[in-house]
Copies of this chain bind each other. A is one copy, B any other.
Amino acid sequence: MTSLARLLRTVPVPAPGAGAQARRRLDALTKPPGSLGRLEELAIRLAALRSGPPRVQCPVILTLAADHGVVAEGVSAYPQSVTGQMVENFLRGGAAVNVLARQAGARVVVADLGMVTPSSAPGLVVRRIAAGTANMARGPAMSREQAVRAVEAGAALAEEAVAAGADLLGTGEMGIGNTTAASAITAALTGAAPEAVTGPGTGVSEETRRRKVAVVRRALETNRPDASDGLDVLAKVGGFEIGGLVGVVLAGAAHRVPVALDGFIAGAAALLAAALAPAARHAMFASHRSAEPGHAIALGRLGLEPYLDLGMRLGEGTGAALFVHLARAAAAIHDEMATFKSAGVDGPA
């Protein structure tokens, strides 16, 4: 059995009523039942996943980078060189994800899953599948074997983080062109029209966005990904960093560690993970709703309601970093508040 096949078999389904103990505790605390809204729902989901009190002491954001052959079609506002330059920026701590992760007390792991140009920047974790994907508008982005290796590489990174103590994983990515891949994946797996799931990405003009829609349509027509086969979709219209994030989600789920999904790219990876192992959904937490139109469609299909809605569309793991505060808040409410009984507060009249 391959490593991926083993992983897929270990994704657990939480026991029915796994969150009931957390709900009872929340209802005993000095506040009207349910009055902290989604913070309570979040605490219950975190508790249900690990069958114990929610715990967010060691959050780790995995920011995976790779390049995309489809940029040859002119789908991005930025040149491909930016992928590698931003990776160096991550490693020096100057990017948005670094700032937000520092503020949230989260560690950032930066890995090269397949940039066009290898980097020897200190701190970079090198797990290269190839020097960028092929142009999906003309053929499959990668082979099925490469797709499996990308997922396994991401899963291994997540497992290393969990072994080192991570109790919350955040997904991050960098890859010029990757909103085009995420659009194609989302269209393939949800049946939505390319027009509906293709947005401005880093901020292309409406003219370029139309070209991007046409490229997504062409990629789907050329490759005919099989929506019932997540690996086929990943291989034909995905990316190495997206495959890596599929592995992060699956490994998090397998180890009962919550995975804070970032934005649109993470949403596409989550759709792929759910296609491979539907139970992985229990470990997914939609940190925020991206301004990219395809993200809401992906989250809707996954049945996930985002916690933040701030019009962000940067990626890198920035939304996941902000979510860490909410997850910590939910855990603290569960753990630290007084009960009506302990505080001597009267209940409803």
| Chain A contacts to B: CB under 8 angstroms | 29-39, 76-79, 81-82, 85-86, 88-89, 92, 94-96, 99-100, 102-104, 202-203, 291, 307-314, 318, 322, 325-326, 328-329, 332-333, 336-338, 342-349
Residues of B within 8 A of A99 (CB): 329, 332-333, 336-337
A337 touches B81 (CB 8 A): no
The answer to whether B35 touches A94, judged by C-beta atoms less than 8 angstroms apart, is: no
Task: State which of B82, B100, B307 has its C-beta within 8 Å of the C-beta of A345.
Answer: B82
Which residues of chain B come closer than 8 Å to A32, judged between CB atoms? 77-78, 202-203, 313-314
Of B36, B85, B202, B338, which contacts A89 at CB under 8 A?
B338
Q: Which residue of B lies closest to A202 (CB)?
A: B32
- Chain B residues within 8 Å of A313, by CB: 32, 35, 37
- Chain B residues with CB under 8 Å of A332's CB are 99-100, 102-103
Distance of A82 Cα from B30 Cα, bound (Å): 10
How far does the Cβ of A75 sit from chain B's closest Cβ, in whole Å? 11
Known: A37-B313, A89-B345, A345-B85. A94 touches B203 (CB 8 A): no
Q: 16 additional contacts, CB 8 Å, given A99-B336, A104-B325?
A: A30-B96, A32-B78, A32-B203, A35-B313, A37-B312, A38-B310, A39-B310, A39-B312, A39-B322, A76-B349, A85-B343, A86-B345, A89-B343, A100-B332, A103-B329, A308-B308
Contact call A100/B311, Cβ cutoff below 8 A: no
> Is B307 in contact with A203, judged by CB distance below 8 angstroms?
no
Chain B's nearest CB lies how many Å from the CB of A315? Answer: 8
Contact A322 B312 (CB under 8 A): no
Which B residue sits closest to A81, measured CB to CB?
B346
CA distance A127 to B122 in the complex (A): 58
Contact of A37 among B202, B310, B326 (CB under 8 A): B310
User: Do A79 and B346 have beta carbons less than 8 Å apart?
Assistant: yes
Expressed in whole angstroms, the Cα–Cα distance for A35 and B95 within the complex equals: 13
* Known contacts A86-B345, A88-B343, A343-B92: A314-B81 contact under CB 8 Å: no
Q: How close is A236's CB to chain B, nearest CB, in angstroms? A: 26
